[in-house]
A and B are shown apart, each in its own frame.
Chain A
Amino acid sequence: MRILSLQHINKKYHKADEFAVNDVSFEVEEGEILALVGESGSGKTTLLRLIAGLEHPDSGSISLLGQTIVEGVRSVPAHERQVGMVFQDYALFPHLTILENVKFGLKKAKGNPEQIALDTLKLVGLKEDFSRYPHQLSGGQQQRVALARAIAPNPKILLMDEPFSNLDALLKDQVREEIRQIIKKTGITAIFVTHDTKDALSTADRIAILHKGYLQQIDIPKNLYENPVNPYVANFFGKRNEILATPTEEGYYTSFGFIADPEAKKFRAKVVLQFRPEHGEVVQRDGQQLTGKIVKISYFGSHQMVKLADDEGKRVTIRTNPGRSFEGMERANFYLWKYDVEEAF
């Protein structure tokens, strides 16, 4: 079932030249976790605040569970939207205890607020003394309280602003998985904002990529990685090599050598071949391979990155397994088993 739908949302901040959000439309299905990914200034947090009712769009409409909540100058106020939100700084109420914080939104809830609050705190894995105050907790614990407070009233949708940005790298992996588990356990639909692609890839069911207020692509992680609609999306998920090539009937001529490919005859002008480091492979044998001068080898434990240069110094990076030795070698041969072709300008 469709939970949330945004239609042609535009938002411009006063005096700002560019739109913060530019004609963005997307939908969210029940129970899914959607990540909004983008650099700072891409409009991702603005989108979150528009859904929450903390900002109002210049145009466009939003509906939640089939009910229109934003249209024209009309808007359902934030306190009536039943949207849960975890703020980047958690925004816990410093003058209330942990239990009081979680109970805060439960005035209208069915059942015993105290019991719901305690159950939710248990769900997020907190076992501390609940009569303590937020400042007496660690950052990670505060985040759990914030999550518990947001999901306790059983909101229609859960919004999270940069939920992992305040955690150190060691904790991050663990917390990502835990938060995903908690959300999936409650069956709640969630949208979170992040600038870190790793957060998005590991936690979200679907990812929306935003750039300068425009929605670039929204899809499952695998499709974004393998079939990016444009170079921006492609580059977002790690390094991509680009080499210039001249198409012929049989294949492509490049500065690293010839690639046989009958598809090449479809192109008239010069093209750019794009490929990720893992889409190439360094090989020993000679033959119809590409070749380059070894410039640099970086060892990463699980793999190595080999930088190869053509005669003009243009470089590409190829990923290899960690066991391969390049001792005494000046040049290396490689082939590409996957690449995208785009016309060059």
Chain B
Amino acid sequence: MDILKRNYFWWNKWTGYSLLILLLVATPLFTIFIKLFDSPGGSWSHIANNLLLGYFQNTILLLLGVALMTFLLGVSTAWLVSNYEFPGRRYFEWLLILPLGFPGYIMAYTYVGLLDYTGPIQVFFRNNFDLQVKGSLIDIMNLPGAIFILSITLFPYVFLITRSSFLQQSKTLQEASFLLGANRFKTFFKVALPMARPAIVAGIALASMEVLNDYGTVKYFGVNTFTTGIFRAWFSMGDSSTAIYLAAILMVFVFVILYLESLQRGNRQYSSVNGIQKPIARVHPTLAKKIIYTGICSSVFLLSFLFPFLQLLQWVSLTYSKVVNQDFFLLIYRSFGLAAMSGILIVVLSIVLLYALRLSPFKWVKNITKIATLGYAIPGAVIAVGVMIPFIALDKWVYGTLFTSQVAGLFFSGTLFALVFAYIVRFMAVGYNPVEAGFQKIGIHVNEASRLLGVRSTRTLWRIDLPLIKTSLVSGILLVFVDVLKELPLTLILRPFNYQTLATKAFDMATNEMIAESANAALIIILTGIIPIIFLNRLIKKREL
């Protein structure tokens, strides 16, 4: 009877931990929401009258442009790679994902360098053909340029998801289309493309989120968007209320995109009913077509990865002796430490959240727990503002009550603590999803079996669940690691004074006309980024089999 009296069926300590984490992680988002009902800051009317329309125009044009270009690049290459056999096809499957390792801002100034007066293209033409162009070959430091840069770094999202959708479409479906008299071309437009629509839209939605998150590219190119507006209000005008207002509007963009994405998916079923299907048989086209297909994929790969990558290598070879010194290693050490710490913390918190969910008798807990992963859809600058405000308030309170001193110190805000917390809010989904998949894969029965054998939930977690999902934990940490390493806008706002990471250092150097020098930090970010991309591609391929 005593045992019964002590225990409620819905309560265990995991529920408590989980609620606490959710509350903390949701704080920045609530902050923005609540502050929206405050009066706007002093510079709001200035921004509203002079800049807001421009922010709107640029942001929307950027979104539309990138959506169109990622669609063209991603869908065409995905279709070729999944339907035709041509030289290099097997390699393009993963080569075309590599651009994801390039942060937009690095791609941006690499291209500026490529097209510059002293860049390899102009030098080549000048030396061999005596061709003279004044200044830059093509001016890409404008809106179309930003669209181009963001598209070539983000199209792999569309490519990846669409390819996986094409591969899941059954052979029989295509054959049915051929038998009904449609040729390959018509089949593509009438069958394959409509069936892949949810995947394509999901890919474009992901790319759009990244566009809204981007600060480096648009800032470097001088294109004013909401993100640059937040920075301007925050740093130049010191007006946090206005920054929040802009952040809130940016969040509306995010929710509109998420809503449109879910709307188009509806509850229609786009996968075929039958479980196991014959995969699409790849066609061997004529030689001429083979050359064209290889040509298309190669050009996309050259433009989106190889040329800029080689340019970076060249810069590194020119400058490494100057740049790579003790300070540089310290920079690597710090960045890696920060990224590893965030990765481990996120995975640990995800384990707690998901384990509470696993043990919970209520189904709706799942929806609440999803709040923890919302941050991934929200631009880094917005999260930074949302983290900063409660931390500043906390600092004031701490100093007011504990030290009763007049001097406001920085206890939380402006410290690494705030930065890591913001990374957790922003990238929780990145670590959460692999852990969730891991738990799903092993199923609930092993956990239940252990508890029925008299082993408590905590011990069960250590002895059964965690050993079985080891790989998921490692991939979770790795994925967060890479994302944190690349992250720019959030780090710029929240880093402690004069604190540099690889990303901020690369960006600072590039904006200060030290593009070649910045390549050293950039190269490390890209090389680390490529490892999990290949890893990820393996995972996707395995699921297809």
Chain A residues proximal to chain B, CB less than 8 Å: 13-15, 52-56, 67-71, 73-85, 87, 89, 91-95, 104-105, 107-108, 149-150, 153
Contact = CB atoms under 8 A, between A and B. Distances in A.
Contacts of B446: 91-94
A74 B9 contact: yes
A71 B362 contact: no
Given A14-B363, A73-B10, A83 B468 contact: no
A75 B7 contact: yes
A93 B467 CA distance: 10
B139 interface: no
B468 to A, nearest CB: 6
A144 to B, nearest CB: 15
Nearest to B442: A94
A105 B4 contact: no
B457 interface: yes
Nearest to B364: A14
B454 A79 contact: yes
B1 A67 contact: yes
B464 A93 contact: yes
B451 A68 contact: no
Given A69-B4, A93-B446, A79 B451 contact: yes
Contacts, number: 98
Nearest to A13: B363
A107 B454 contact: yes
A75 B4 contact: yes
Contact of B448 (A13, A68, A87, A108): A87
Nearest to B470: A95
- Chain A CB within 10 Å — which of B7, B9, B10 has the most? B9
Contacts of B1: 67-68
B263 interface: no
Contacts of B449: 85, 87, 91-93, 149
Contacts of B545: none
Nearest to B8: A73
B455 A79 contact: yes
Given A89-B443, A104-B455, A107-B454, A75 B9 contact: yes
A55 B361 contact: yes
A55 to B, nearest CB: 7
Given A68-B1, A74-B7, A89 B445 contact: yes
Given A14-B364, A75-B4, A85 B452 contact: yes
A81 B5 CA distance: 14
A108 B364 contact: no
A15 B446 CA distance: 27
A55 B460 CA distance: 18
B369 interface: no
A104 B450 contact: yes
Contacts of A71: 4
Interface string B7-49: 1111010000000000000000000000000000000000000
12 contacts: A74-B5, A74-B9, A77-B7, A80-B454, A82-B454, A84-B453, A87-B445, A89-B445, A91-B443, A92-B449, A93-B449, A94-B446
Contacts of A78: 448, 451-452
Interface of B: 1, 3-5, 7-10, 12, 361-364, 443, 445-446, 448-457, 460, 464, 467-468
A107 B443 CA distance: 24
B455 A73 contact: no
Nearest to B3: A76
A124 to B, nearest CB: 16
Nearest to A106: B453
B7 A76 contact: yes
Given A14-B364, A149-B453, A153-B454, A54 B448 contact: yes
Contacts of B361: 55-56
A150 B278 CA distance: 41
Nearest to A146: B449
B369 to A, nearest CB: 15
- Chain A CB within 10 Å — which of B1, B4, B448 has the most? B4
A72 to B, nearest CB: 9
Nearest to B361: A56
B362 A14 contact: yes
A239 B12 CA distance: 50
A289 B450 CA distance: 63
Contacts of A92: 446, 449
Instruction: Report, nearest first, the 6 A-B pairs whose CB atoms are least far apart.
Output: A105-B453, A91-B445, A75-B9, A56-B9, A91-B449, A14-B363
A98 to B, nearest CB: 14
Contacts of A149: 449, 453
A107 B453 CA distance: 9
A93 B452 CA distance: 13
Contacts of A91: 443, 445-446, 448-449
Contact of B456 (A79, A85, A89, A95): A79
A54 to B, nearest CB: 5
B4 A76 contact: yes
A114 to B, nearest CB: 16
B7 A104 contact: no
A137 to B, nearest CB: 16
Contact of A108 (B8, B451, B454): B454
Contacts of A54: 448, 452
